Amino acid sequence: MSFIDRIFPNPLPSIDDILNKYKKRNLPEGSKVTRIAPSPTGFMHIGGIYTALICERVAHQSNGVFFLRIEDTDTKREVEGATKLICSSLSNYNILPDEGIDSNGQEFGDYGPYKQSERKSIYQAFIKYMLEQGKAYPCFATTEELDELRKKQELSGARPGYYSHWAKYRNLSETQILEKLDAGIPFVIRFKSEGNYNNKIVIQDGLKGKINFPENDLDVVIMKSDGLPTYHFAHVIDDTLMGTTHVIRGDEWLSSLPLHIQLFKALGFTPPKYTHISPIQKMDGDSRRKLSKRHDPEADVRYYDSVGYPKDAVIEYLLNLANSNFEYWRRNNPSKSYKDFNLELKKLSPSGALFDFVKLNNISKEIIAKMSAEELFINSFEWAKQNDSELYLLMQQNSDYVKSILSIERTGAKNARKDIAKYSDIKEEIKYFFDDRFSISDDKISEIKDIPSSKEIVKDYIEIFNETDTNQEWFNKMLTLSSKYGFAKNAKEYKLNPSNYKGDVSSVVKIFRILLTGKTQSPDLSEIQKTMGSTRVLNRLKQIDNIIKD
């Protein structure tokens, strides 16, 4: 029996059968087939969603196919529930693969299985083929031998790795191999690289352009001792069989590219086009660094949900990170779906996009501003149900009141308010409408005290207060009070003759804003008054007697 049959004693599918089963995809000219191929290690980095979104857009913009493949051949790193997290994160953000696995673990599509652990016999058939062709060999190196090799290379200043004359098991005879197999010595299968490190090759990357590499000469492991392939080998087989035309992945894989290209060629396959994207970075003091799973909560895709960013805000933010012209496009196409935007790979930043909360918040505020009060209520209520029981209860017990609060400067407004970036902001924004949550801080009280005649102004206003005043009628009252108590009717008038006035109308308005909301900034005060109702408004205004005692 040959050593190859000893290694694979059980029947495996034939290469021809496999190639026949995975038919060439019948797609219109120019369609791109992309995939994301995450490993189920228990964490969904926002960078993973970023890459998935780019892959999905590139495929669907070209009427192509976007699929999901779970790369779970590294069983030691696998975390339970991780595949579900990947699938649910994708569906949560509406990045829907045409083929792959759904959130219930159900596989769909004609090019599966889409979990590498279910494709063992396919990989083994190709590994057997590589052995038959003399393009791979079993390697019996023990951990100790590999450690020793490393030390020797270090001492002699040689490049580390298993290659050329360092590759001890590369040229064993059939008899030597059989002896070792008979002795039950554990082994892996290595690729027998024909490369020469001194040769330079040029590879075209979709984003980084032409890159020079030394040719690969490493005899990398392609099948581990557990019979499963390594990522390097598995992805070559899968991307070929599944018809991937464009591999878009993180640039941590860039250095493996010469190896990958060599593996494709060794198998007689044409490599797909590769685009390596730089990770999302952030500023840390004066320097840039990758978003880190350990230090940055925003690295975890679950973060965005937990604080209540609408899904579209996250997606639009990521599109903006990918192509900075998205912002301009959105301004000119406010009501189109983001899917109408044409994402271009070559417009991605080659050095990595910078994460910026201010930008994310601005995009999110715009998106929330477009929601009707009813929609915002429903979305934030849903969010609160999962994430903030206190807010949930408050909204449930006061739903009409909260809806009318959320309507302020929203329903029918020309410029809807843009003070809410995420659903968790709502609690703070509605707090002062509830007497048991409302308070005025000492420094705000001092601000009222510092405004001349504030007590008299409030007392006067109580007399003329009318809940049904329009915004204009209310403001006219502010002007009347201003002129009565020596305040200018606007900032310009005040600045022309500051010694003639105690301030301008904004100081008068500020008294009421603080008394009613506890804040110096708020939405339209006349609308706030209407929403609060006269009893609550008058009770608050009457607090002036406690604030300023005679």
Given the rule CB under 6 A, which residues bind ligand GLU?
37-39, 71, 231, 235, 247, 249, 253
Least distance in angstroms from the C-beta of 59 to ligand GLU: 14
Dihedral over Cα of 147, 149, 155, 160: its sign: negative
Q: Using CA atoms, how far apart are residues 507 and 482, in angstroms rounded to an integer?
A: 9
Distances (CA, A) of 78 to 75, 91, 99, 230, 357: 5, 21, 22, 14, 32
Q: Are 433 and 401 in contact (CB under 8 A)?
A: yes
Nearest CB to ligand GLU, comparing residues 343 and 516:
343
Q: Using CA atoms, how far apart are residues 300 and 334, in angstroms rounded to an integer?
A: 29
Tokens 């002896």, residue located: 179
Residue 427 in tokens: 């609690």
Q: Using CA atoms, how far apart are residues 277 and 57, in angstroms rounded to an integer?
A: 15
Least distance in angstroms from the C-beta of 438 to ligand GLU: 50
Q: Are 241 and 250 in contact (CB under 8 A)?
A: no
Q: Are 405 and 430 in contact (CB under 8 A)?
A: yes
Closest by Cα among 531, 526, 519 to 419: 519
Nearest CB to ligand GLU, comparing residues 72 and 527:
72
Nearest CB to ligand GLU, comparing residues 253 and 269:
253
Nearest CB to ligand GLU, comparing residues 51 and 454:
51
60 has which bridge partners? Answer: none
Least distance in angstroms from the C-beta of 256 to ligand GLU: 9
Least distance in angstroms from the C-beta of 367 to ligand GLU: 30
Expressed in percent and rounded to 5, the helix, strand and coil fractions of the chain are 50, 10, 35
Nearest CB to ligand GLU, comparing residues 38 and 518:
38
Q: What angle in degrees, to the nearest 10, is found between the helix axes of 471-485 and 454-464? A: 140
Least distance in angstroms from the C-beta of 270 to ligand GLU: 17
Least distance in angstroms from the C-beta of 119 to ligand GLU: 14
Least distance in angstroms from the C-beta of 386 to ligand GLU: 28
Q: Are 406 and 433 in contact (CB under 8 A)?
A: no
Nearest CB to ligand GLU, comparing residues 239 and 527:
239
Least distance in angstroms from the C-beta of 315 to ligand GLU: 20
Starting at the edge strand that comes first in sequence, how are the strands of the sheet with 209-214 ordered? 209-214, 200-205, 273-277, 246-250
DSSP string covering 224-256, please? -TTSPBPHHHHHHHHHHHTT--EEEEEGGGGGG
- Residue 93, SS3? coil
Q: Using CA atoms, how far apart are residues 194 and 171, in angstroms rounded to an integer?
A: 13
| Residue type for position 404 | S
Least distance in angstroms from the C-beta of 236 to ligand GLU: 10
Nearest CB to ligand GLU, comparing residues 269 and 392:
269
Nearest CB to ligand GLU, comparing residues 34 and 124:
34
Q: How far is CA 314 from the centre of its chain?
A: 7
Nearest CB to ligand GLU, comparing residues 247 and 402:
247
Closest residue (Cβ) to ligand GLU?
A: 249
DSSP state letter for 244: -
Q: Is 536 exposed, middle or buried (0-12, 13-18, 19+ CB in 10 A)?
A: middle
Q: What's the length of the chain? A: 550
Q: Using CA atoms, how far apart are residues 518 and 149, in angstroms rounded to an integer?
A: 71
H or E element in which residue 123 lies: helix 120-132
Least distance in angstroms from the C-beta of 249 to ligand GLU: 3
Nearest CB to ligand GLU, comparing residues 47 and 503:
47
189 has which bridge partners? Answer: 138, 223
Least distance in angstroms from the C-beta of 112 to ligand GLU: 17
- Residue 419, SS3? coil
Least distance in angstroms from the C-beta of 231 to ligand GLU: 5
Q: Using CA atoms, how far apart are residues 389 and 395, in angstroms rounded to an integer?
A: 10
Q: Using CA atoms, how far apart are residues 328 and 404, in angstroms rounded to an integer?
A: 33
Nearest CB to ligand GLU, comparing residues 138 and 279:
279
Least distance in angstroms from the C-beta of 209 to ligand GLU: 20
Nearest CB to ligand GLU, comparing residues 62 and 116:
116
- Count the helices and strands in the chain (H runs, E runs): 25, 13
Nearest CB to ligand GLU, comparing residues 38 and 64:
38
Least distance in angstroms from the C-beta of 346 to ligand GLU: 19
Q: Using CA atoms, how far apart are residues 482 and 502, in angstroms rounded to an integer?
A: 9
Nearest CB to ligand GLU, comparing residues 277 and 528:
277
Dihedral over Cα of 107, 112, 113, 117: its sign: negative
